[in-house]
């Protein structure tokens, strides 16, 4: 049978606000404990189930070379006496940090090789979610953390002793600090900008070219997009 709708009902329907297609995301704080659990537990599980492969062994030897260094040059360039080392001229920060953990590891243990990568992934997920929430809103912070915490390729970084995870955390922290400077600072210099400089300097010691590429992207944003946003506002 035909449906009859009067004008009053149409006006009432038109006045109703549109329904939120993702109301659950508006209550993203409710999911914070779950996201924290995922962001912390999954990298730890990946690290504890990691296999001792060739790449991990190379970075482990690089860290071991720091503990056995006989001169400052051998600390600055870990593995300098081993000219055949494939990672000889790789950034040394990962090896430096891992070398500090060797005394806490039982003889023959390899757990110390995965501590820095796993911790870096946890911190990267936290800084990234806060950055996304500051820049785009709470729902995007939730989605960023969920996607990052469950990304298989991301979790693989916790299962190697290489420096990629450490680099990702430091670059994420750099981006977060730069964004905080843009949004809150009232002068050209601020504590967030100082923190960004320190984090980027450490990223340079960890990721090398990746850190240079990252700061290039941020510079383009600062020179082109930010002035455009200022004019539009």
Is pLDDT above 60 for 20? no
**Residue 200 pLDDT exceeds 70:** yes
Is the model's pLDDT at 179 over the cut of 90? no
Of the ranges 72-76, 150-154, 196-200, which is most confident? 196-200
Cβ atoms 181, 190 nearer than 8 A: yes
Q: What is the mean pLDDT of residues 150-160?
A: 84
pLDDT at 83 over 50: yes
Helix (H, G, I), strand (E, B) or coil at 107: coil
Question: Which of 175 and 5 is assigned the larger pLDDT?
Answer: 175
- Tokens, residue 130: 């806060």
Res 166: pLDDT: 93
pLDDT at 203 > cutoff 90: yes
What mean pLDDT is predicted for residues 142-169? 85
How many helices (H) does the chain have, and how many strands (E)? Answer: 13, 0
- The span from the CA of 107 to the CA of 121, in Å, is 26
pLDDT band at 173 (very low <50, low <70, confident <90, very high): very high
Give the chain's radius of gyration (CA, Å): 24
Cα 206 from Cα 98, distance rounded (Å)? 12
Average pLDDT over residues 102-120: 82
Among 167, 230, 222, which residue's Cα sits nearest to residue 200? 167
Q: Residue 176: is its pLDDT beyond 70? A: yes
Top pLDDT among 146 and 6 is at 146
Over residues 34-51, the pLDDT tens digits come to 777 777 888 888 888 887
* DSSP sequence for 14-68: HHSPPPPTTHHHHTGGGGHHHHHHHHHHHHHHHHHT----HHHHHHHHHHHHHHT
CB 145 within 8 A of CB 35: yes
Query: Quick check: 190 pLDDT over 80?
Result: yes
Block residue for tokens 């964004």: 179
Q: What is the pLDDT of residue 171?
A: 93
């Amino acid at each position: 049978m035909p449906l009859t709708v009067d004008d009053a009902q149409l006006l009432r329907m038109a006045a109703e606000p549109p329904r939120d297609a993702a109301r659950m995301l508006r209550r993203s704080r409710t999911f914070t404990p779950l996201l924290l659990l995922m962001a912390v537990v999954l990298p730890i599980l990946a690290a504890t189930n990691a296999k001792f492969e060739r790449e991990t062994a190379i970075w482990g030897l690089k860290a071991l070379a720091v503990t056995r260094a006989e001169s400052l040059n051998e600390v600055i360039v870990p593995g300098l006496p081993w000219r055949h080392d494939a990672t000889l001229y790789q950034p040394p920060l990962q090896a430096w940090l891992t070398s500090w953990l060797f005394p806490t590891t039982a003889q023959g243990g390899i757990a110390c090789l995965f501590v820095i990568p796993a911790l870096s992934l946890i911190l990267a997920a936290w800084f990234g979610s806060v950055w996304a929430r500051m820049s785009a809103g709470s729902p995007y912070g939730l989605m960023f953390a969920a996607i990052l915490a469950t990304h298989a390729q991301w979790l693989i970084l916790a299962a190697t002793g290489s420096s990629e995870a450490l680099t990702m955390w430091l670059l994420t922290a750099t981006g977060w600090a730069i964004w905080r400077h843009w949004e809150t600072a009232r002068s050209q210099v601020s504590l967030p900008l100082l923190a960004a400089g320190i984090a980027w300097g450490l990223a340079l010691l960890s990721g090398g070219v990746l850190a240079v590429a990252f700061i290039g992207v941020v510079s383009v944003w600062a020179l082109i997009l930010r002035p455009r946003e200022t004019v539009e506002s």
